[in-house]
Structure 1
Amino acid sequence: MTDDWKRQIDRLHAELVRRDDPAEWVVEADAVDASRRYPDLAFRGPVFGLAVLDPTDTERALEWRLLKPVTDATPQDARDTLNSHLWFKAKDDTDDPAVRRELLAAVARLEREPIDDLTVCGARYRIVRGDEFARTGRSGLEPPRPTDPEPADRAWGGRSDTPSPDRDFALVPGRETSPMVVAMKVALQGYAYSGARFPAAVREESERARTAYPEVVLLPVGFGVAERRRGCWQPRGALMPTPHEARRLLVDAMIEFWPQLYEFSAAERQRYVEAAEEFKAAGRANEVRVDDKRFQICRIERMVRIGPDGPEPPRRSDVDDYGPTKIHPTMDEDGTLHYDS
């Protein structure tokens, strides 16, 4: 760690003491404890989202902010989100034919080309690349911390109702107030893919990214379900904004989705229901076992690299499952939809 980073962490520590906020002290102490109990980082791989730099936003004209959570598995997933965003702006947000033409021209390009940076009506859109990781220790993946926020209503029915904290999140380095977060950033700035399991091109691009995008922004923490399988942890389901919603996702999967998807026998269904009910009754449990399977609620972190021109876009070595395609009906400049085109 350089002297400059040491001074910054010392300054943040002094500021934390000066603010005399017991809640912040508890959160910081929680982070220190987690770093000791879960000292290693396990990187899952890249995730993708959508950001915008909008000069019409007078308060944040120079800030890249997220329009889409950085959770997509491939760049094309995020490009499709941009396609839909612009199409619905053309449909619902303007009555000006010239503006609609410009928006629809951008949509047409996205239907044909894998574009990662696009300026439309003065706003600059970019597909953003991040890396997802979790802390690990001798006991496995880090579970939610006691200080991680929970929803006010921790019901088990219904769907997730907590909005993603990614939305409208500013990708601006240097706004951290926690010494432990800054220390994490120092460690992540030098991170690059290594080892024979990564192809040479992937390792080379990862090394170049450390120079081209030297800053790091940590995104809001998320929570997920992981299954211990063949000696390693594998994700099962989407990233959720709170620990309880990850627990609810696991319960719904055990009772409703997995029995249908995997065609459980009646006996298997019963065992999963009983395990889910015990898990619910425990309140804030973070682990459940069924037969020889082990599931855990884990704390997921993500980073985005930032360079002089903004957040890192997808790398050439990032893989897509499919290419650009037409998503929505054809629209005229007057807003008329044509479903047979």
Structure 2
Amino acid sequence: MDDDSAQLPEHLTIRVTHTDDPVAAVAGLEAWAAREKYPDLMMMPPVFGSLERTGTGAWRILHFHATTPQAARDDLGHTFRAWALAEPGTPLAAPRTLGDAERAAYTAAYERLEWEALDEISVAGRDYRVFRAEQVLRSGPDGIEPPRPTDPDPAPVGQAHRLPSRVAGFVIDPAAGVTLVDGILRLDMTALVPTGRFIPEDVRAEARLASHLYPNVMVLPAHCAVAEHRDGRWGPMTGACETPQGARDSLAAYLREFAPRLDPDLGAEELARYAEAADRLDAERAVEVRAAHRRFRLVRVEPVVRLGPDGPELPRTSDWDPDVPLRVQEQRDRAAGIVYGEDGEDLGDGEPEGG
């Protein structure tokens, strides 16, 4: 019998393989149980990152978790600048030795990105692009799914920010083998589009088009966020943290430091309860906590990247992208009378004192 999968292009293939890894087996059981317990899929706003095409045609993540396409473009430009200026062997150096011509090419690319909102660029014979990922949460009768026991969570309390990124260097390769459970879960995501009466029609229309242009998906390593229960339902409260402890640290900092500043009318008793809740988070590494009249939960977020024949999906025109490249913004500011120093510092509107 002919193997039909051999005739399919890689971007349409989900290659299922067997693994003897016991950790992967347990993670698969957890994932299948979560699919039953939390059958509904919800979507947070997308996140963005930058990629480098590898020698095999796959794409390696350089940066992730930017909240807008322009922020991801800025990250890519800063990486080019760091590579061009860093001495060989330093932590900022490129993952390979750069000659003088390549350093000049990366400098020129960085300067170009300061002026142009480019989602794709080739530098020194290598391809780079900005990509988008949907943030998917699973929900069920008891609310949004919390982190799973097999989700990596190695950081001590208050130290999550010191961990290296779990997703930087991750290779997006549709030809890579996955377990049967992961393959089924990927199929669940292929037709995912935002729904709800408050979703603008242009957003829905572009999502439907993307499902045809980028028909396959890949799920990146899960990250975590904090949700709050309000008015009878759960809603995301924070952006992405790479680990559950990172989300706990963010929530504890909010309860101890930011909530009192944001609400100066809080009484001493409520402030004490907020502090007690933060202490419980630290002591118990909990996934849910109550503080005074409020209820918070750590929630599991699955970043889903759409894949097409040319690679991961680029930003959409309907994505929120309010900023412009750095030099364009500076040019606008100068035209408006804002004066910059040599280091880019805003020196005010240039009017003499008292004028």
Give yes or no for TM over 0.5: yes
Residues 1:136 and 2:139 are matched in the alignment: yes
Label 1:9 to 1:48 Cα distance change in 2 as closer, same or farther (>3 A): closer
Label 1:93 to 1:216 Cα distance change in 2 as closer, same or farther (>3 A): farther
- Paired residues of 1:9 and 1:183 also in contact (CA < 8 A): no
Q: Which stretch shows the higher mean deviation, 104-113 or 305-314?
A: 104-113
Structure 1 vs Structure 2: percent identity of aligned residues? 37
**What amino acid is the match of 2:62?**
L
Residues 1:150 and 2:153 are matched in the alignment: yes
Label 1:340 to 1:255 Cα distance change in 2 as closer, same or farther (>3 A): closer
What is aligned with 1:208? 209
Q: How big is the shift at 1:238?
A: 3.8
Label 1:261 to 1:93 Cα distance change in 2 as closer, same or farther (>3 A): farther
Equivalent residue in structure 2 for 1:65, among 51, 57, 60? 60
Per-residue CA deviations over 1:65-122 (Å, capped at 9, x if unaligned) read 10002x2211011011012111222222588654344223222221222110011112
Unaligned runs of 5+ in 2: 6-12, 89-97, 331-341, 346-355
Equivalence map 1:196-275=2 (5 Å):
196-263=197-264, 264-275=266-277
Equivalent residue in structure 2 for 1:279, among 275, 278, 281? 281
What is aligned with 1:297? 298
SS of 1:131's equivalent in the other structure is strand
Q: Which stretch shows the higher mean deviation, 238-247 or 134-143?
A: 238-247
SS of 2:57's equivalent in the other structure is coil
Label 1:80 to 1:265 Cα distance change in 2 as closer, same or farther (>3 A): farther
**What amino acid is the match of 1:85?**
T
- Paired residues of 1:189 and 1:210 also in contact (CA < 8 A): yes
Q: How big is the shift at 1:315?
A: 0.9
Equivalent residue in structure 2 for 1:116, among 109, 115, 119? 119
What is aligned with 1:49? 49
Q: How big is the shift at 1:62?
A: 1.8
Label 1:10 to 1:131 Cα distance change in 2 as closer, same or farther (>3 A): closer
SS of 1:259's equivalent in the other structure is helix
Q: How big is the shift at 1:242?
A: 2.3
Label 1:137 to 1:319 Cα distance change in 2 as closer, same or farther (>3 A): same
Q: State the alpha-carbon separation in 2 of the partners of residues 147 and 98 from structure 1.
A: 46
Q: State the alpha-carbon separation in 1 of the partners of residues 87 and 194 from structure 2.
A: 42
What is aligned with 1:58? none
Equivalent residue in structure 2 for 1:91, among 81, 85, 91? 85
SS of 1:66's equivalent in the other structure is strand
Q: State the alpha-carbon separation in 2 of the partners of residues 65 and 186 from structure 1.
A: 23
Q: State the alpha-carbon separation in 1 of the partners of residues 45 and 323 from structure 2.
A: 18
Per-residue CA deviations over 1:246-289 (Å, capped at 9, x if unaligned) read 222222221123323444544432221112223333x2421111
Per-residue CA deviations over 1:143-163 (Å, capped at 9, x if unaligned) read 111222220xx5323452222
Q: State the alpha-carbon separation in 2 of the partners of residues 215 and 10 from structure 1.
A: 12
SS of 1:160's equivalent in the other structure is helix
SS of 1:84's equivalent in the other structure is helix
**What amino acid is the match of 2:244?**
P
Q: State the alpha-carbon separation in 1 of the partners of residues 197 and 77 from structure 2.
A: 36
SS of 2:317's equivalent in the other structure is coil
**What amino acid is the match of 1:67?**
L
**What amino acid is the match of 2:306?**
R
SS of 2:63's equivalent in the other structure is strand
Label 1:9 to 1:214 Cα distance change in 2 as closer, same or farther (>3 A): closer
SS of 2:134's equivalent in the other structure is strand
Label 1:294 to 1:29 Cα distance change in 2 as closer, same or farther (>3 A): same
Q: State the alpha-carbon separation in 2 of the partners of residues 300 and 39 from structure 1.
A: 14
Q: State the alpha-carbon separation in 1 of the partners of residues 185 and 178 from structure 2.
A: 12
**What amino acid is the match of 2:127?**
R
Per-residue CA deviations over 1:116-174 (Å, capped at 9, x if unaligned) read 001111221100111001110000010111222220xx532345222222111111114
TM-score, normalised relative to structure 2: 0.79
SS of 2:114's equivalent in the other structure is helix
Q: State the alpha-carbon separation in 2 of the partners of residues 186 and 179 from structure 1.
A: 11
- Paired residues of 1:193 and 1:207 also in contact (CA < 8 A): no
TM-score, normalised relative to structure 1: 0.82
Equivalence map 1:169-180=2 (5 Å):
169-180=170-181
> Size of the alignment, in residue pairs?
314
